[in-house]
Structure 1
């Protein structure tokens, strides 16, 4: 990589099925039925194809999705694809897919997070790998962005688990401050397909304009994020994010088109896709 080349991490939330059941709109999970193959070239959105286009994945650890057999298989697939594996812990809310806020004590929340890190770490060690980073899921991710107590619990849980383990989160948020205080490396994350407000907050998913669904629009946003460090808000202004990683949701039907177009756009501007 020459001096004029920048780099940025592409990440994907992945492994969010359970048992033999694929989730709605996630047709690539049909490969996970017992006896099936996650390496099938016939799969419309195969796991390997996604992993080949990102530099890291956030693997569900079992509390909102992910079962032991699925986690083990995805770890092996990530190793084969040369993709880093981070933990994607959640509130213990499988029936709600981790999207509901839960009120638990700080110490209990730390233990909940560390339990999930340990589960994934065990499978990674069997492959000669280790947890590369931590990115919370759903309600835990959103709450830690604005709740100082929850943010502190998350940051401290990561710091206690392993020194120097990076934490992904919303830029310039409570989480970033908590990570700094706990001595945890923090990686600012931007979302390729989520709309933003002027204040840097994500647009509520219940709004019709919450998601960006056209590959060309997504790739233009990713180019702006990767080259300029900003994103255009729904109010029409540029918001500073300065991301070190950009998330692509693996459950989006056109995610492969998003990734391919984003790669092309960033290559044109001398931005290399690489784990941070």
Structure 2
């Protein structure tokens, strides 16, 4: 049986006259795009343009909702209750889905962004609010969440398909959480090193934590951060190494049969 994995990237994170990332080129290399919905980045024009680009390149489209935090790029912890999370997820998914529909495509998945993603990985109430909003909007949507986290557990409990996500450019703690961005060892800057780690995650289901211990991960989808200065380099190297190891790059839920 062939090994298959999704390669996703957070895109559509430009805003007004500010350009972030190399979306047009990255979309030639990935199988899924997580498109910002205006709360941490993006706006109605950027959302429209990015959806059209993704459709033209045959890339599966997902919503990338966030805490309402343009100044902090959605990466600041903000105190929110479950009802607020539920409503904000519905609002953002609905906004992106409108652009997807008018371009003749189907919204495939939802992946929370930044602080909201990390909060949901550990807080079951926030995780449940996100999963419930997705289920109530459209139960066929796939929830992307940190591998073995409260978010993927909430999705499974509520009855929606989940995709366990691993990160190419981030390091891990022993409990399976991502190393906080404030730490110097939070990032992997070398695409070659990242690619080797990703191959282990996909083929062996494991990664090395910052303390040297091995942790178990399930890799259904691999994330590249589109706002990274080397996002395109990472996408090229990861795609090359996955193909070299005969690992098929396909969107979650895609089947040749």
Specify the TM-score bucket, using the shorter chain as the normaliser. over 0.9
- Report the Cα offset of residue 205 of structure 1: 1.0
1:189 counterpart = 2:186: no
**TM-score, normalization: structure 2?**
0.94
- Report the Cα offset of residue 271 of structure 1: 0.5
Unaligned runs of 5+ in 1: 29-45
Hey, what does 2:18 align to over in structure 1? 21
Map residues 143-182 of structure 1 onto 2, 5 A cutoff. 143-182=119-158
Q: Secondary structure at the match of 1:205?
A: coil
Whether the 8 Å CA contact 1:62–1:116 is kept in 2: the answer is: yes
Whether the 8 Å CA contact 1:198–1:235 is kept in 2: the answer is: yes
Hey, what does 2:189 align to over in structure 1? 213
Whether the 8 Å CA contact 1:89–1:113 is kept in 2: the answer is: yes
Match of 1:252 among 216, 223, 228: 228
- Report the Cα offset of residue 143 of structure 1: 0.5
Match of 2:6 among 4, 9, 13: 9
Report the structure number with the largest CA radius of gyration: 1
- Report the Cα offset of residue 215 of structure 1: 1.6
Hey, what does 1:120 align to over in structure 2? 96
Measured in 1, the distance between the counterparts of 2:139 and 2:34 equals 19
Measured in 2, the distance between the counterparts of 1:252 and 1:172 equals 25
1:135 counterpart = 2:93: no
- Report the Cα offset of residue 104 of structure 1: 3.2
Measured in 2, the distance between the counterparts of 1:98 and 1:259 equals 23
Tell me how large the CA RMSD over aligned residues is. 1.3
**TM-score, normalization: structure 1?**
0.88
Measured in 1, the distance between the counterparts of 2:82 and 2:232 equals 39
- Report the Cα offset of residue 240 of structure 1: 1.0
- Report the Cα offset of residue 55 of structure 1: 0.3
Aligned residue pairs: how many? Answer: 252
Deviations 1:20-47 (A, max 9, x none): 123xxx4x4xxxxxxxxxxxxxxxxx32
Hey, what does 2:212 align to over in structure 1? 236
Map residues 24-103 of structure 1 onto 2, 5 A cutoff. 26=20, 28=21, 46-103=22-79
- Report the Cα offset of residue 255 of structure 1: 2.0
1:266 counterpart = 2:242: yes
